[in-house]
Chains A and B, each alone.
Chain A
Amino acid sequence: MRSLVSQVCLPVLALVTLASTYPGNAAEITLAVANSTCGTVQAVGARYVETHDIKINYLCKSSGLLAKGIRGGAIQADIYISASQRWMEYMVKGGLVAADKVVSPWGNRLVVGAPAGSPLKLEAWNDLTTDKVKTILIGDPGTAPFGRYAKQALQRTGIWEQIKQKITTTRHITLLADRLAQSDNRTVGILFSTNLSDRLRSIYPVDPTWHPEIRYYMAPLGAPEAGTEASRFFEFINGDPGREAFQSAGFDVSG
């Protein structure tokens, strides 16, 4: 019942409310975006707004929190972008997303990162178990996919039990990137290569065969009619303009 209500009534209501709040604008759409793609999606959005009379709102959180918020009714959005297949399946099961509308245009890679000024060097993956590394930051495996991938890689290579006591989790990737940038020389973090800012550098690439393939999944929420603002933007970001932006941000767009 609740899903029906949000499918039909919420967009209508949102439009009515927005129309009265921002009388000058014709339309407004809201994107629920996995944290790791937040910057790139905003860049694509900015290009889109140049040519369209529309306002775009961005909700950047971990994929799991977004999924639960949308399903619980606390978050209302038009398009959902997840950093893992698991949370998109959760949405499909919840009836919030039509399975045939889900696309997966981009992929990503995990790296071991350190503060830009850190002299730390990893000769091999197993160096994580040595005294050189005191703290390893990863995402919360429960809600942040990049944390789940990191845990899977550590388990797959058999060092999870040895390094467990060095682990500290963070809720989402921007938080991890910030914290890592302010850390000491014995701290490393496992994160998407696209989230390395100029305050961080990669010290070891994670072998992609150690974890399931990292793909992003995107779908419109509910069943928007073709020709609405949301579906027009969906096509834009799924098409060439989106591909170019993601490629230049370092994402894998070959899939």
Chain B
Amino acid sequence: MLQRLRNCSLYRQLIIPMFGIGLFSLLGTVYFSNILKESVAALDTVYVDGDIRLHNLEQIEKQVTFYRALSLRHLTTESFSSMEEINQQLQQTRRKILDALPGARTAPAVTEQPLPESDEYTHDLAAALRSYFGETGVAIKLSAEFEKEAAFILLSRVESKYVPRIMEITSQLIRHEFEDIAVSRQVLMSVATQNLYITIAIGISGGGLLLLIAFAVIRGVTRRLSRLLTWSQAISEGNYSVPLTQDSSDEVGQLTQAMMEMADSVSDAHGKLETAKKNAESIAEALQIYANAFENSGEAILITDRNNHIINVNTAFTRQTGYELAEIAGRNPRILSGGNTTTGTYREMWQALEKNSFWQGELWDKKKSGELYPKWAAISVIRDPHGEVLFHIASFTDISDRKAAEARIEHLAHYDMLTGLLNRFSLESRMEQAILAAKRDNQQLAVLFVDLDRFKYINDSMGHQVGDQLLIEVASRLKECVRESDIVARIGGDEFVLVLTGLKDTNRVPTLAGNIIDRISQPYTVNDNVFDSSPSIGISIYPDDGDNIDELLKNSDIAMYHAKNQGRRNFQFFTEHLLVASEERLDFEHQLRSALELDQFELYYQAQVHTQGNHIYGMEALIRWNHPVRGFIGPDRFIPIAEEIDVIQQLGAWVIDEACRQLAIWKQTTTNPLQISVNLSAKQLHSDTLIETVREVMEQHRIREGELELEITETATMSDPELAVRQLNRLNQLGVSLAIDDFGTGYSSLAYLKKLPINTLKLDRAFVGDIENDRNDAEICMATIALAHNLGLKVVAEGVETTAQRDFLAEHRCDYLQGYLFSKPVPPEAAGALLEARHAPRETETCR
């Protein structure tokens, strides 16, 4: 095969493989760049589609809540025409929800697994919603027939059957959506990177092969030509006995043959000079072919003489550089140099040419237009048999495109996509260099950990696009605050890290931190919204606060949290005693363990009044910790910790005992019936000593049936419903009244509560607080009251603070009220005084 190729003409030897390979690489490159472009476009689509789907899911969540409120409103409406209006709204809402349902997903072509789990959820959601609407429709129809009773029962069953499921699937879908986007992005990124590599590989291997072939052919021809030259010199010196073997039948072979014949003729007679002349002509012809190959090569080729003066360039060269032969003939190729190639590279090049007569590598050259571009150069030195340089041949490939792609990948790996700042990875490598430099020069570094206050709030309330714009703006402001040589990175959500390098001392750091706070706290304008944000900054110093990256970052993070605790919008330097703060929690736990023995707990009492008549029927006992150093500590602070470290049983038993003891005292002085309520935590409810504790306390203080009420939260009953029902039934047998606290905050439905032996529902203060502002909350409030009455339960509204709330609740026949409007929690003596007066004082508008 190779032999057959060598027998072809030089023109074919060069052109056939070159053309074939050139075409192949060109097609390959075009094909894969096209795929690359598609991947990038697909990546874009993933983000946009993801956004739309997320928005729709959030819309569904909101509309389902509205739909629930509407259906409850329908049930509490007495006139048919009002019901008709509500029914139309219901249908509109239902259409809105069904329209917003995620459709069949069009997964991007490159994502081979379209996450079938997510599709299943979508399908489930649609099915759950349709069944929910269908069955709610039946309840609405009953309601329209004025069969409110049956409608209530059906609706509460339908709600408990579908609503938690719908909410769960929706939040699952939202979570999946986020995962989807991340997965698709990863897949697309890896496909894009792979394509890029393939494109580059094809480009390089194609170019390399071309060079290799050109080189091999040229090398073969020149070697044979120089052998022929040596031979013909010998002949011309009259030495006809020199042997010559040439084994190919191409032009060079023919030339050899002719020369051999010429030599024969010369040896015979000068008379055959004419023949020799003819043979010389065919040599010229061969050279002409060679020149054509040179001229038409796709590679830019440049030839210089032994003194490195340009003697020829081809058209591809002119195309690449813009120089015509006439402009540069006789000049040194140095004029092409762009100045970006290091002198080391040139030195290496000349050494290789000297030693191996060949060099290839990357050069930065300048076009005639002045534009700098990178190119791949292959240079051969052609020598005579004595090793003297005859000329240089150089061929060039423009590799600007490949370079640009490499730079893009480099950028992605090292910079944050959103803000263009360094990412965590390159922050660490830059910090490593900065630490080394500081160590060497005996200088200091300041690491500033910047966290935006309220960023999550802005992101949640105004949308993440606004959040992203804010981050971009913050990034640019941060960059303006520091020198070019300092490091600015974003390492997560709203967390930025600044490293001030090469500091002789840290005197100026506080001023700079102050500047940053002022600058970041200036108002932001995004999409016509103007809003404020501010940073909290923690600062650690190398080498004082740590001599490695992890320690410096950790300590600046600790200092940042300290800044947050100090009220945000300030900066704090790391100090050793911040480390101590985390040890304080241990101390707190220890104090909590001994607080009971030291008698540091107190019960306060808040009055509960009849809606009609305003007189007190009960007191809720609320625990406070009277800490010798910190003063009063509320239960929100220590109850979760007490649950964690298992002192809740003792503490809970103490509260029940103390509250009942107090009740026994009050019963001696007042003749009015009185109930005392005590909160029960989830852990207490599940404790096996609870029943015994309650029984003993009731016996000891002679507490009668209905006088002690225990309050549990919805969620406490849900973790282990069977155990909860068992415990509650036993409490019920003891004559303890049971209440559900914070009702309305969980997902439980009245149908579920029906299974529990409870007597009272406590409407959560969140609903009560929004009665005046939020129509939906007001309606849920009033429907809950109606439904609770339907189940024979009493309703207590918590957190009543205004007369408007009281009037609303009275109008909708809420049984009992509790809140600042009547009395705040007070010590036992003050509570006793209230009881004697029987009526809670009306601390109306004046207390607000």
Is the beta-carbon distance between B794 and A1 smaller than 8 angstroms?
Answer: no
Nearest residue in B to A168 (C-beta to C-beta)? B79
CB-defined A-B contacts under 8 Å, sample of 16? A2-B732, A13-B704, A21-B671, A21-B672, A68-B791, A69-B792, A73-B759, A141-B147, A142-B148, A142-B149, A142-B150, A142-B152, A143-B149, A167-B146, A168-B78, A168-B79
Is the beta-carbon distance between B672 and A140 smaller than 8 angstroms?
Answer: no
Is the beta-carbon distance between B80 and A166 smaller than 8 angstroms?
Answer: yes
Query: Cα distance A147–B793 when bound, in Å?
Result: 24
**Interface membership of B285, Cβ < 8 A:** no
Is the beta-carbon distance between A165 and B80 smaller than 8 angstroms?
Answer: yes
- Sorting the interface of chain A by its residue count into under 10, 10 to 19, 20 to 34 or 35 or more gives 20 to 34
Q: B residues within 8 A CB of A170?
A: 78
Is the beta-carbon distance between B673 and A17 smaller than 8 angstroms?
Answer: yes
**Interface membership of A169, Cβ < 8 A:** yes
Query: In the complex, which residues 121-142 of chain A have their Cβ closer than 8 Å to any Cβ of chain B?
Result: 138, 140-142
**Interface membership of A65, Cβ < 8 A:** yes
CB A2 to nearest CB in B, in angstroms, measures 7
**Interface membership of A64, Cβ < 8 A:** yes
**Interface membership of B332, Cβ < 8 A:** no
CB B515 to nearest CB in A, in angstroms, measures 66
* Known interface pairs A21-B671, A165-B84; A68-B146 also in contact (CB < 8 Å): no
**Interface membership of B789, Cβ < 8 A:** yes
**Interface membership of B790, Cβ < 8 A:** yes
CB A152 to nearest CB in B, in angstroms, measures 12
Query: Cα distance A176–B671 when bound, in Å?
Result: 39
Q: Which of B79, B732, B794 is close to A167, meaning CB atoms less than 8 Å apart?
A: B79
Query: In the complex, which residues 773-821 of chain B have their Cβ closer than 8 Å to any Cβ of chain A?
Result: 789-794
Is the beta-carbon distance between B80 and A5 smaller than 8 angstroms?
Answer: no
CB B727 to nearest CB in A, in angstroms, measures 15
CB B237 to nearest CB in A, in angstroms, measures 128
Is the beta-carbon distance between A68 and B792 smaller than 8 angstroms?
Answer: yes
Q: B residues within 8 A CB of A167?
A: 79-80, 146
Q: Which of A2, A13, A168 is close to B757, meaning CB atoms less than 8 Å apart?
A: A2
Is the beta-carbon distance between A72 and B146 smaller than 8 angstroms?
Answer: no
Nearest residue in A to B704 (C-beta to C-beta)? A13
* Known interface pairs A21-B672, A167-B80; A64-B149 also in contact (CB < 8 Å): yes
**Interface membership of A9, Cβ < 8 A:** yes
**Interface membership of A226, Cβ < 8 A:** no
Query: In the complex, which residues 125-152 of chain B have their Cβ closer than 8 Å to any Cβ of chain A?
Result: 144-150, 152
Query: Cα distance A89–B177 when bound, in Å?
Result: 55
Q: B residues within 8 A CB of A9?
A: 705, 735
Query: In the complex, which residues 64-117 of chain A have their Cβ closer than 8 Å to any Cβ of chain B?
Result: 64-65, 68-69, 71-74
Nearest residue in A to B151 (C-beta to C-beta)? A142
**Interface membership of A199, Cβ < 8 A:** no
Is the beta-carbon distance between A169 and B78 smaller than 8 angstroms?
Answer: yes
* Known interface pairs A65-B789, A74-B793, A167-B79; A13-B705 also in contact (CB < 8 Å): yes
Please encode chain A, from 15 to 40, with 1 for each CB lying within 8 Å of some chain B CB and 0 for all others.
00100110000000000000000000
CB A62 to nearest CB in B, in angstroms, measures 11
**Interface membership of B733, Cβ < 8 A:** yes
Q: B residues within 8 A CB of A65?
A: 789
**Interface membership of B485, Cβ < 8 A:** no
Query: Cα distance A151–B149 when bound, in Å?
Result: 15
Query: In the complex, which residues 742-787 of chain B have their Cβ closer than 8 Å to any Cβ of chain A?
Result: 757, 759
Nearest residue in B to A71 (C-beta to C-beta)? B792
CB B731 to nearest CB in A, in angstroms, measures 12
| Interface residues, chain B, with chain A CB atoms under 8 Å away | 78-81, 84, 144-150, 152, 671-673, 704-706, 732-733, 735, 757, 759, 789-794
Is the beta-carbon distance between A73 and B150 smaller than 8 angstroms?
Answer: no
Please encode chain A, from 187 to 214, with 1 for each CB lying within 8 Å of some chain B CB and 0 for all others.
0000000000000000000000000000
Is the beta-carbon distance between A5 and B705 smaller than 8 angstroms?
Answer: yes
Q: Which of A17, A21, A68, A147 is close to B790, meaning CB atoms less than 8 Å apart?
A: A68
Query: Cα distance A35–B794 when bound, in Å?
Result: 21
Q: Which of A17, A71, A165 is close to B81, meaning CB atoms less than 8 Å apart?
A: A165
Query: Cα distance A141–B152 when bound, in Å?
Result: 13
Q: B residues within 8 A CB of A142?
A: 146-150, 152
CB B161 to nearest CB in A, in angstroms, measures 22
**Interface membership of A52, Cβ < 8 A:** no
Nearest residue in B to A165 (C-beta to C-beta)? B80
CB B531 to nearest CB in A, in angstroms, measures 48
Interface centre among B671, B704, B792 (most CB of A within 10 A): B792
Apart from A17-B673, A143-B148, A167-B146: 17 A-B pairs, beta carbons within 8 A: A5-B735, A9-B705, A9-B735, A20-B671, A21-B673, A64-B149, A69-B789, A73-B759, A74-B759, A138-B146, A142-B146, A164-B80, A164-B145, A166-B80, A169-B79, A169-B146, A169-B148
Query: Cα distance A9–B706 when bound, in Å?
Result: 11
CB A167 to nearest CB in B, in angstroms, measures 5
Is the beta-carbon distance between B671 and A72 smaller than 8 angstroms?
Answer: no
* Known interface pairs A64-B149, A141-B146, A170-B78; A1-B792 also in contact (CB < 8 Å): no
Q: A residues within 8 A CB of B732?
A: 1-2
Query: Cα distance A230–B313 when bound, in Å?
Result: 126
CB A94 to nearest CB in B, in angstroms, measures 11
A-B interface, 5 closest residue pairs, ranked by CB to CB distance from nearest: A72-B792, A142-B149, A168-B79, A169-B78, A142-B148
CB B264 to nearest CB in A, in angstroms, measures 126
Q: A residues within 8 A CB of B757?
A: 2
Q: B residues within 8 A CB of A165?
A: 80-81, 84
Is the beta-carbon distance between A72 and B149 smaller than 8 angstroms?
Answer: no
Is the beta-carbon distance between B79 and A1 smaller than 8 angstroms?
Answer: no
Query: Cα distance A139–B394 when bound, in Å?
Result: 105
Query: Cα distance A165–B84 when bound, in Å?
Result: 9
Q: A residues within 8 A CB of B84?
A: 165
Query: Cα distance A143–B84 when bound, in Å?
Result: 22
Q: B residues within 8 A CB of A147?
A: 146
Query: Cα distance A219–B773 when bound, in Å?
Result: 47
Query: In the complex, which residues 38-54 of chain A have their Cβ closer than 8 Å to any Cβ of chain B?
Result: none
Is the beta-carbon distance between B704 and A72 smaller than 8 angstroms?
Answer: no
Nearest residue in B to A17 (C-beta to C-beta)? B673
Interface centre among A140, A167, A170 (most CB of B within 10 A): A167
* Known interface pairs A1-B732, A5-B705, A21-B671; A151-B793 also in contact (CB < 8 Å): no
Nearest residue in B to A6 (C-beta to C-beta)? B705
Q: A residues within 8 A CB of B706?
A: 13
CB B754 to nearest CB in A, in angstroms, measures 10
Query: Cα distance A154–B100 when bound, in Å?
Result: 42
Is the beta-carbon distance between A1 and B791 smaller than 8 angstroms?
Answer: no
Q: A residues within 8 A CB of B704?
A: 13
Query: Cα distance A97–B196 when bound, in Å?
Result: 86
Query: Cα distance A100–B152 when bound, in Å?
Result: 32
Interface centre among B80, B671, B673, B735 (most CB of A within 10 A): B80
Nearest residue in B to A21 (C-beta to C-beta)? B671
CB A84 to nearest CB in B, in angstroms, measures 13
Query: Cα distance A155–B566 when bound, in Å?
Result: 72
